[in-house]
Amino acid sequence: MSLSADQRTRSCATELVCHDCGRRLPLLDTTFKCLGCGQGLDIDYDYELATARLAERQLAERPLSIWRFEELLPILDARAQARVGIDSGRTPLIHADRLGAELGLRNLYLKDDSTARPSLSYKDRVVSMAVARLLELGGEEIGCVSTGNVGTAVASLAAKAGVTAYVFYPSNLERGKARACRALGAAVIQLDGNYDEANRACRALALASGIQFANITLRPFYAEGAKTVAYETVEQLGWRSPDHFVMPAAGGTLSSRVHKGLGELEKVGLAETAATKIHIAQPEGCGPIATTILAESEEIEPQTPHTAAHSLAIGAPGDGPLVIDAVRSRGGSAATATDPEIFEAIDLLGATEGILTEPAGGTTVAATMKLAAEGKLGPDDTVVAVISGNGLKTLDEHPEKSWPAMVACEAEVMGEMLTDFRQNGLGAALS
Ligand SMILES: *Cc1c(COP(=O)(O)O)cnc(C)c1O
């Protein structure tokens, strides 16, 4: 890939660098594992150049897209970048005064990625990077292995970019998400195994077939998209970094890259972020990272997931060690929630803030509640909880709720129902 000056983005990415041994590779290399020690690869930047290019004055004039902070994102080819994600990113940051009152948090904010474009989850951020990288490499097909939302994001962003998508789901897939992928034109394959087994098989398939996988072979680029949650949130708070982030973790990309993004905002002089703590939310039925943090141990024990929070059902989290480092170095913590607590938290968020989230978001709200009750979040602290996905895709997964009661279309009968609601609460609406 040789680019003329007008074909280059403003990206200040320089090299791939190993998370573990620090070995460096050229950015155009297509390996995704360190050739030395086999660990994952990160992306490094020329931060001095980025500081000069990212002066706040210039930022104000830029579009509110995923590419707003393009200096700190890894795509060099402007033609690839222009074809992906121009309407993604910049989700609302909402002051959750009503939910905050329930939790005893006066300054609770929600970073609402349940409204992310195009596919209603935080995965639109990471998959935007993967698809742009694919186009940069000249690829015409993309695969992914998905707990749910990677699939819908790949199907949607690949369709818009004119790329063929193959989505591999584990056997316990959520029907709404798999159907959405089909409707978006992707090939959907259900594998007879859980996510961790599917992930291993897809890795072998990617190597054997040469097809790029968004969250396997394109992973170093994919992961960078999650940093935009940190950039946007701090900008939306007026270049003030919150006291706390509470975030769900599955593989650990979101939380580890928000940590990286916060560090970068400090490096390029846009905000002071060192005091921000990161707290992790996981389901009790799949909480290998949270368990390790709470036990103050070092090694992450893989778990076999048993939870209705399918988006978070990764028992062997690839970025787990990075998450533990992010949490410990920032003085954060973790909390887990049972499935009933997750569904109660979904209902509480809905009834207080009018936001319908999926179980991953319920896990985050339930964890925020526990961390507040334990005094790990102070009543006046600025707390940002990341609502990472939309509940419309997962309504089929909710515990059985009865159908609304059917009554005659007559004002008199309807009036009796209203009296009943007022006296007995909303439960009366269900038969
Ligand atoms: C994937 C996902 C997560 C967790 O993301 P990781 O980066 O794998 O830790 C959280 N919430 C939702 C809705 C997701 O789809």
Predicted pLDDT at 234 = 98
The amino acid occupying position 160 is: K
* Beta partners for residue 18, in sequence order: 41
List domains and CATH numbers for the chain: 92-400 (3.40.50.1100)
Per-residue pLDDT, 60: 84
Q: Which of 126, 127, 247, 388 to mutate to test the pocket of ligand 1 (most atoms within 8 A of CB)?
A: 388
Which of 110, 120, 123, 144 is the pocket-test mutation for ligand 1 (most atoms within 8 Å of CB)? 123
Residue nearest to atom 2 of ligand 1 (CA): 311
From 156, 312, 358, 387, mutation site for ligand 1 pocket: most ligand atoms within 8 A of C-beta: 312
Residues 6+ apart with CB under 8 A from 377: 105, 243, 244, 246, 279, 368, 371, 383
**Rounded-to-integer distance, Cα 213 and Cα 198, Å:** 13
d(CA 361, CA 358): 5
Angstrom CA distances, 93 to 26, 68, 118, 225, 227, stand at 36, 16, 18, 18, 16
> Of all protein residues, whose CA lies closest to atom 14 belonging to ligand 1?
311
What pLDDT score does 302 carry? 96
User: Ligand 1 pocket: which of 127, 150, 311, 392 to mutate (most atoms <8 Å of CB)?
Assistant: 311
From ligand 1's centre to the CA of 256, what distance in Å? 12
Measure 299 CA to ligand 1 centroid, in angstroms. Answer: 21
199 backbone dihedrals φ, ψ, rounded to 5°: -60, -45
Ligand 1 centroid, distance to 50 Cα (angstroms) = 28
Ligand 1 centroid–CA 177 distance in Å is 14
Preceding peptide of 305 cis, ω within 30°: no
Cβ burial, residue 220 (10 Å; 0-12/13-18/19+): buried
How much is the pLDDT for 206? 94
CB 168 within 8 A of CB 202: yes
Tell me how far the alpha carbon of residue 273 lies from the centroid of ligand 1, in angstroms.
23
List per-block mean pLDDT (blocks of 10 residues) for the chain, which spans 431 residues: 87 94 89 84 97 84 94 97 93 98 98 98 98 96 96 98 97 90 97 93 94 96 98 98 98 98 97 98 98 96 95 95 98 97 97 97 98 98 98 87 81 93 74 49
Pocket-forming residues, ligand 1, beta carbon under 6 Å: 121-123, 148-149, 248-254, 311-312, 358, 360, 388-389
For the entire predicted model, the pTM comes to 0.96
